Chain A
Amino acid sequence: MAFVAAAAGWLLRLRAAGAEGHWRRFHGVGLARGFLHPSATVEDAAQRRQVAHFTFQPDPEPREYGQTQKMNLFQSITSALDNSLAKDPTAVIFGEDVAFGGVFRCTVGLRDKYGKDRVFNTPLCEQGIVGFGIGIAVTGATAIAEIQFADYIFPAFDQIVNEAAKYRYRSGDLFNCGSLTIRSPWGCVGHGALYHSQSPEAFFAHCPGIKVVIPRSPFQAKGLLLSCIEDKNPCIFFEPKILYRAAAEQVPIEPYNIPLSQAEVIQEGSDVTLVAWGTQVHVIREVASMAKEKLGVSCEVIDLRTIIPWDVDTVCKNADPFSLGLYPTGKMKEETNNLY
């Protein structure tokens, strides 16, 4: 009944708006919108905008790490941070508003559990936060810094690229800030516009000395974050904010690690290789099944997970580097030259 009423309302509104209909607006603008998401659903005018045109697909329950619990992305982050602070007495968490739990609730309960000298707020100063974090890490303590949105990371760009990434190299391994991890909510969410939606991993992808990691799900996030924290190189961990609540699956309560610089083949295929990370993995999965259904194309789906240093071998194992648009350099180039 409500469906009929809503449908009637929707049609009336379309006509009333003199509407071209919001579907027609997308014609001639490249890929038809309908290709990427299910056929027109009935929504009222205020929700016409498609915020998330993908469905999160949980992975099967992991059996090898002990007891699991249903957690969404922010809860799995909290769990990882909880494990870290429990294991490592030098670990501290800091950033804007982390004390009360954080604007995305990733640090809820940690200050009460571990004390205000281990989980504390900083003033509004990103460059200061990261610089300060590098300082902590250089003394050997584990620093977990939060930048409230990835869009705000740019004042800290100099500290990350010029200080953190090069510390070990320029001191000849005398000093390093390997125990620094920077966490930051990442990616578009529908209503974030210019400054709450950015995905800046590409800016960091050309900086040797740091690692950039982006998980696609709660289970991946906890394992990857724990690996970043324990990794002896400064790491940036971007958390897809649209998945904080939307993604929920069974996640082990005990700590576990997912190795960095290892891509994961989520789906085997023989015709085309699709590489994605973060939220896009779920979009690409849908694309792969649509391609199979409508075009008969068998797609291999790879979640890159670590953006730099990235897993060249897994990506190139089945792919013809030229058909992917990858131009081999260095050793890869030599090897492919020998092949052809």
Chain B
Amino acid sequence: SSIMTAHCSLSLPGSSDPPTLASRVLVASRNFANDATFEIKKCDLHRLEEGPPVTTVLTREDGLKYYRMMQTVRRMELKADQLYKQKIIRGFCHLCDGQEACCVGLEAGINPTDHLITAYRAHGFTFTRGLSVREILAELTGRKGGCAKGKGGSMHMYAKNFYGGNGIVGAQVPLGAGIALACKYNGKDEVCLTLYGDGAANQGQIFEAYNMAALWKLPCIFICENNRYGMGTSVERAAASTDYYKRGDFIPGLRVDGMDILCVREATKFAAAYCRSGKGPILMELQTYRYHGHSMSDPGVSYRTREEIQEVRSKSDPIMLLKDRMVNSNLASVEELKEIDVEVRKEIEDAAQFATADPEPPLEELGYHIYSSDPPFEVRGANQWIKFKSVS
């Protein structure tokens, strides 16, 4: 059985070892299905005649890919938790474990050339948008191998077509509308996913962005990641209407089960198609849950019960849901998925090693990129005798 497992793992898609003839025969004899059809929850609709389909096809290849990505995000967040408690990561750290189906599902529904902007619970999106775990963990530990060269930290990670990573609640939404305008202007059929949370949904500038996007028919998908708590305040105590998918009023909306990656994927494909057809913006509410508190300084149990967290973990965990589906439909075996777990763990360990050992950025770079100017601009430090060069 362990030999079979070893051979199975050699033939997994994406692995670098070329499968031997013997292992191909073994896999063939194991006889996985190539794909399977699943029923997904129907989305609640606002100002829409039709919604996303209620069934979807998942291929074995896609399933394994999503599983690996979600497991990577999960383990990466847990590793960040560990590093934070060891004081190797400092400052602020907002983790998204529990919400993996959102970041992986959204990515599955769009193209790499589409654009995405979100707030500070962004590590998962940084990964799904293409950065490596190494770069992300090194950024968390503030080292020069980090994706923002160690100067951004948890809340300020960026990548190609990924605009962060933003600290001020709600401020990223008008930015997203602007990116959508650029998409429309450039005429390349791209859309912009603009994410915000249930707490941010009560900020004024979000409604300003709704108005502009609808007025000018911008290809902007507004996405409210509703994890039921804005820091420590539950949605009922913060919002007059908790139907976040309807809050866009004149903007059509759908409410999506954010713990089911297939549901998220189909809804995203639907929304992206809607925007690309030139009909204007659309709003998606992803109903999801975070296991950790708001940030690492929040235990997360003073405003919700441990029973509630446990219940979500046991009934709606996104990774568990995908795993059960795949195993029950013979898309993968339990051993195969365990192999992926082992590989992911190793990848995270290596990345954490790198993130702990990499040197910090040199102090001279403290002032870099404040301004763009040639020759470099001199910027004053904490007092007038400390000067930094802003090289950019």
Contacts and interface: CB of A to CB of B under 8 A. Distances in A.
Given A97-B232, A155-B204, A191-B91, A124 B383 contact: no
Interface of A: 17-18, 25-26, 29-31, 46-47, 49, 96-97, 100, 121, 123-125, 127-128, 151-152, 155, 191-196
* Interface residues on chain B, size class: 35 or more
26 contacts: A18-B359, A29-B363, A29-B387, A29-B388, A30-B385, A30-B387, A31-B385, A46-B86, A46-B87, A46-B88, A49-B90, A97-B233, A100-B302, A123-B199, A123-B238, A123-B239, A124-B203, A124-B230, A125-B204, A151-B167, A151-B168, A155-B204, A155-B205, A194-B155, A195-B155, A195-B167
A263 B385 CA distance: 26
Given A124-B238, A155-B204, A100 B91 contact: no
Contacts of B203: 124-125, 155
Contacts of A123: 199, 202, 233, 238-239
Contact of B233 (A17, A121, A192): A121
Nearest to A25: B363
B170 interface: yes
Contact of B92 (A17, A29, A196): A196
For the residues of A in contact with B, the DSSP-based class is: loop
Contacts of B169: 124, 152
Contact of B202 (A18, A97, A124): A124
B168 A30 contact: no
Interface of B: 86-88, 90-92, 153, 155-156, 167-170, 199-200, 202-205, 230-233, 237-239, 302, 359, 362-364, 381, 383, 385-388
Contacts of A128: 204
Contacts of A47: 87
The 3 closest A-B pairs by CB, nearest first: A30-B386, A195-B167, A123-B202
B200 to A, nearest CB: 6
Contacts, number: 74
Max chain B Cβ within 10 angstroms of own Cβ: one of A49, A123, A127: A123
Contact of A191 (B92, B199, B204, B364): B92
Contacts of B386: 29-31
Nearest to A152: B168
A46 B237 CA distance: 39
Contacts of A100: 232, 302
Given A29-B381, A47-B87, A196-B92, A124 B363 contact: no
A273 B202 CA distance: 48
Given A47-B87, A97-B232, 19 more contacts: A29-B363, A29-B381, A29-B387, A30-B383, A30-B385, A31-B385, A97-B233, A121-B238, A123-B233, A124-B170, A124-B200, A124-B203, A125-B202, A125-B203, A125-B204, A128-B204, A152-B169, A155-B204, A191-B90
A197 to B, nearest CB: 10
A155 B390 CA distance: 28
B152 to A, nearest CB: 9
Contacts of B363: 25-26, 29
A334 to B, nearest CB: 29
B88 A25 contact: no
A152 B171 CA distance: 11
Contacts of A151: 167-168
Max chain A Cβ within 10 angstroms of own Cβ: one of B86, B92, B363: B363
Contacts of A25: 362-363
A193 B204 CA distance: 25
A26 B170 CA distance: 37
B327 to A, nearest CB: 41
A31 B167 CA distance: 31
Contacts of A18: 359
Given A97-B231, A123-B238, A194 B383 contact: no
B86 A193 contact: no
A29 B200 CA distance: 41
Contacts of A124: 169-170, 199-200, 202-203, 230, 238
A146 to B, nearest CB: 14
Nearest to B363: A25
Contacts of A127: 204
Nearest to A124: B199
Contacts of A31: 383, 385-386
Contacts of A196: 92
Contacts of B359: 17-18
A96 B202 CA distance: 12
B185 to A, nearest CB: 28
A192 B90 CA distance: 9
